[in-house]
Structure 1
Amino acid sequence: MLEIKVTDIKQYIYCRRIIYFTYCMPLEVAKTYKMKYGKEKHDRTEELEKRRTLQRYGLESGEKRCSVWLESKKLGLKGKLDLLVIKGNEYVPIELKYSTRKPGLHHKYQLTAYVRLLEYKYKTSIRKGLIHLIPSKDTFEIKMTSNLRKKVREVMENIRKIAVTERMPDVVRERGKCKDCEYRNFCGDI
């Protein structure tokens, strides 16, 4: 089974062609300004996170772990979770996003994939995760529904299908996404 990265799930929802270029035509691409800036802010926040309290996430207490590497050969999935809070038998995954918009579907699917990895690793059931927006300091609770879990499994299957068939997916409907895309020059039809 092809092992995929959790970030691939987010990318698939954003633009399926990114998956095609990642697995079928691996390319050296330059990071865009927005990507570099977001990474800098994310790294800085992660650095500061070590000394911050959990109150910003609406949590009172727990053990905080930063940059948690998760991998499951059985699920064929791997990735690095930004933050994990453990309180007794409760596990709360937290994804940090440098965005001014409310969490999109791609962020929710990414968080759900991390939940699947955590559930597998810790042999537990997780009911919620959090997405924290760095600029606004807003935190959104995302309930782990059966529908979210099902959709993530479907996306994982579709990612593997793209990799195996090596067929380039159709261009995204929202062409505004293409403006700042690092793969824009390789699509040929936008």
Structure 2
Amino acid sequence: MDYLIVLATVGGVLLIAYAHHLKKSAENSSTANIVYMDLSKFVVRKSGVGGLPSDVLFSRKLMLKGKPDRIVLEKGHYVPVELKSSKRPASPYPGHVMQLAAYCALIEEVTGRRVPHGYIQYADGEPFKILFDERLKTELINTLDEMRLALRTGNVRPTRNKRKCENCSMAYRCPTSRKRINT
């Protein structure tokens, strides 16, 4: 019977030590100060976060809307975190970088505060820290212009990824799609 008390005490001490370890890990990670989190079907938002709505972010300047997976507070800056379920590549995919850049721009316009960078977190490994500098802002604007031109003209570039092609909203305009409607 005494061994059960000793076992329970040791287990309790180990549990407390592990909880302390988890708390310290969270404090040191980029997710320690989550101020916004999109959980797909519902949004969790900590109260008192200045200027961040709990729904979709909208930019009148860019005519763009979106909902980042997370926004963390880092050294007084709101920083978007884009979560990806795929394995970590050697470098982030260009489309993922543009998506993150769009979230940076949205947060800047909604809050009126500069966003210095964002993170792309793949299923494994360390997150990529992406600087939101003038070069990336210009690339974002050029990409948005290119996308809008494709929408207006119907001149879309086909993808090599068949899974993306199957669910593409532009399939009716794509020369390689079976869903193409001749106009």
Query: TM-score when scaled to structure 2?
Result: 0.61
More relative contact order, 1 or 2 (CA 8 Å, 6+ apart) = 1
* RMSD between aligned residues: 3.0
Larger helix percent: 1
Deviation at 1:130, TM superposition (A): 0.6
Q: Following TM superposition, by how much is the alpha carbon of 1:131 offset from its aligned partner in structure 2, in angstroms?
A: 0.8
Q: Does residue 1:159 correspond to 2:143, yes or no?
A: no
Any residues of structure 2 matched to 1:1-190 within 5 Å, and which?
A: 55=26, 58-59=29-30, 61-67=32-38, 69-87=56-74, 89-102=76-89, 103-134=92-123, 136-165=124-153, 167-172=154-159, 175=160, 177-178=161-162, 181-183=165-167, 187=174, 189=176
Deviation at 1:111, TM superposition (A): 0.3
Structure of higher CA gyration radius: 2
Which structure 2 segments of 5+ residues have no match?
1-22, 39-53, 178-183
Counterpart secondary structure, 1:65: strand
In the superposition, the TM-score normalised over structure 1's length comes to: 0.59
CA distance in 1, matches of 2:28, 2:122: 10
Unaligned runs of 5+ in 1: 1-51
How much identity, in percent, do the aligned residues show?
A: 28
Runs of 4+ in 1 over 3 A off after TM superposition: 52-58, 183-190
Q: Which residue of 2 aligns with 1:13?
A: none
Distance 1:180 1:60 in 2: 30
Q: How many residues align?
A: 135
